[in-house]
Amino acid sequence: MFGGGSIQLARVFGVRIGVDYSWFIVLFLIIWNLSGYYEDVAPESSAFALAVVSALLFFLSILLHELGHAWVALRNGIPIEGIDLWMFGGVAKLGRDAGSPGVEFRIAIAGPLVTLLIAAVCFGLSAAVSSGSDALQSAQFDEDVTGATTAVLGYLASVNVLLLVFNLIPAFPLDGGRIARAIAWKLTGDRNRATRFAARLGRAGGYLMVAAGVALYAFTGDLVGGIWLAFIGWFLAGAARSAEAQADFAGRIEHLRVADVMDAEPVAIPDDWTLADAEQQFFLRYGWPWFPVIDANGRLVGVVSREAVESVPASERATRRVGSVMARDDGSSGLRVRLDEPLESLLSQEGLARLGAIMAVDGEGVLRGIVTLDAVRRALQSAVPA
């Protein structure tokens, strides 16, 4: 759901921005709903255009919210695998979990702060281009609003306030639930225990939303609103259950570190070797599709593949160096992990999934081992109770 089958739109700060197919359904519904509202505040010929602009600006608000999370995460050294817009809004997928409750709190609060700023700016602009009473009426979806600009700004202000309130509900995995987890983590010093606490809040919040959806239909007859609220609650409860199960599993492997599962005798190619020597001594000898590359001090500097070597004409391989064709590792490429990192941190490593292995380095960047996907699987299987 989050990134696998989405359509890429752009890259911002190097972060992939995509939309899930479900996003188009919600976009249509929002445009359809707003078209009726704008017919009462603008000429019928422009109502549809205003609805389209408002819907796109609403999703831009969500994107800015997620970019707030992503920007703070990147500033704290956490890679972002992408941001996707989908039927429930948006999600920024972090390459790994925060390393401290303080970082977790800052990442979680960044999105709501961006949303609050957007709501304030939109209301301020609405008040600036109209009377104060018109600005308040537009924020309340009053059909007596005069002026298309006021109506659009009022809609954006109100919908971002609703988004802010919803996201601050202390139900994991909403931002409010992540804030609650950060606080519990700070108080207990145990991330897994804090996650379980926040996930239970999320399950309770999800079930309450399902009940609220049923009550909305029963007492007001709003079938669409009731179903939508119940569906969101059901999704949150399911996501919280998954988070709780993941926390329970993480608790069983929290004593394991990368050094416990790695092969401590890695085979690596020096970056100053010729391609001909690398081909003869490594690729033909071992038959592996790629090897880590190290410098003269043993530090990991990249990865070289058989395809990269074979892409160079045979007549040039005796003079070309491995370092000239390798995929360079700058420390954020997902190819390395620290020896003292918990085994759990490997589960979200892109390099492990892409290459089938990841390089383990010490604090100086010296290659000390290789962790294969099979080794991780064996460690995880041993942690599952019989």
What digits encode the pLDDT tens for the residues 95-119? 777 889 999 999 999 999 999 999 9
Query: Which structure tokens are listed for 25?
Result: 């359904």
Tell me phi and psi for residue 75, to 5 degrees: -65, -20
pLDDT given for residue 324 in this prediction: 93
Q: Which residues contact 189 (CB under 8 A, 6 or more apart)?
A: none
| pLDDT mean across residues, the chain | 84
329 vs 318: CA distance, rounded Å? 24
113-172, pLDDT tens digit by residue?
999 999 999 888 887 776 554 445 444 444 555 567 778 888 898 899 989 998 898 888
Q: What is the pTM of this model?
A: 0.67
The predicted-structure confidence for 35-91, as pLDDT tens digits, reads as follows 877 777 666 668 888 889 999 999 999 999 999 999 999 999 888 878 888 877 788
More confident residue, 9 or 3: 9
Q: Domains in the chain and their CATH numbers?
A: 7-168 (no CATH), 258-383 (3.10.580.10)
User: Catalytic: which of 39, 44, 66, 341?
Assistant: 66
Mark whether 66 is an active-site residue: yes
Q: What's the CA angle centered on 379, arms 202 and 103, to 5 degrees?
A: 40
- In 3D space, the residue among 266, 278, 286 whose CA is nearest the CA of residue 309 turns out to be 278
Distance from C-alpha of 296 to C-alpha of 63, rounded to nearest angstrom? 45
With CA atoms as reference, report the closest residue to 109 among 170, 55, 58, 51. 170
Q: What is the pLDDT of residues 198-246, one digit of tens each?
A: 989 889 988 998 999 999 889 888 887 788 889 888 988 888 888 887 7
